[in-house]
Structure 1
Amino acid sequence: MANIKEKIYHVLKGNFLVSNDSFKNWRFILFLVMLMMLMIASSHSSDKKVMEIAKLSKKIKELRSEFVDTRSISMKLKLESTIRNKVFDLELKPSEEPPQVIRVTVKK
């Protein structure tokens, strides 16, 4: 039991960093630090992409609703009754006679 307490005491005191074979310990610690930094950078990158996806999804919804509004306005403007009301001020009225078909025949 004393052996375990002694090992824990040496770790807490930091003897493993200043002993004769501490070079391999420092290499391992630096490797762990590099892995942690890589993990942090990766998580920041993924968070950034998630935020961009959310922003683009919101913009898509706005553009889709704008498209639907514009299409409905366009459909209303194409209606015959709307066109009649617009040209009423110009005193244009629909023709009473049906249109005539003109056929052109070409002889060679």
Structure 2
Amino acid sequence: MKQTLYNILKGKFLVDEGAPKTWYMLVFLAGLALFMIASSHAIDKKVQEIAVLNKEMREKRDVFIATRSQLMKLKMESSIVSRLEERGLFMPENPPKKIMVKSE
């Protein structure tokens, strides 16, 4: 057991007669590790991008709600009447009458 651990620490498994198999496995594991690191970086980048987009979406939703509430206030009859009175137009005191035309 002690000798085996000593051989591993010295790196004898890299120069024995079965070394090519070991090297292939080490290269494969190194490639796999690099692939995992690259994937995790790509995922982190996507997560950060999603967070930025969510923040922008919330801001745009807030602007939309504020604009919609302003529009609702502007569309109210009292608001329209007050703006028309500033221009010199007033609401009629008598309601409009419907004119019926009979064709012969």
Same fold, TM exceeding 0.5? yes
Gapped regions of structure 2 (runs ≥ 5): none
Residue in 2 aligned with 1:7?
A: 4
Shift of 1:89: 2.3
Shift of 1:88: 1.6
Mind listing any 5+ residue stretches in structure 1 that lack a counterpart?
none
4+ residue runs of structure 1 moved beyond 6 angstroms?
A: none
State the alpha-carbon separation in 2 of the partners of residues 101 and 24 from structure 1: 99
12, 15, 18: which one pairs with 2:15? 18
Taking a change above 3 Å as real, the CA distance of residues 106 and 10 of structure 1, as seen in their structure-2 partners, is farther
Matched AA of 1:59: E
Which residue number corresponds to residue 47 of structure 1?
44
Query: Which residue in the other structure is 1:36 paired with?
Result: 33
**Deviation, structure 1 residue 104:** 5.7
TM-score of the aligned structures, taking structure 1 as reference length: 0.86
Letter of the structure 2 residue corresponding to residue 25 of structure 1: T
Give the secondary-structure state (helix, strand or coil) at the position aligned to 2:87: coil
In the TM superposition, what is the alpha-carbon distance from 1:100 to its structure 2 partner? 2.4
Q: Indicate which of 64, 76, 80 corresponds to 1:67.
A: 64
Label 1:7 to 1:106 Cα distance change in 2 as closer, same or farther (>3 A): farther
Report the aligned-residue RMSD: 1.7
Which structure 2 residues correspond to residues 87-98 of structure 1 after superposition, within 5 A?
A: 87-98=84-95
Separation of aligned partners in 1, 2:100 and 2:60: 47
The total of aligned residue pairs comes to 104
In the alignment, the residues of structure 1 paired with residue 101 and residue 10 of structure 2 have an alpha-carbon distance, to the nearest angstrom, of 107
Per the normalisation by structure 2, the TM-score is 0.89
Closer, same or farther: CA 104–44 of 1 in aligned 2, 3 Å: farther
Counterpart residue type for residue 76 of structure 2: L
Identity, in percent, stands at 45
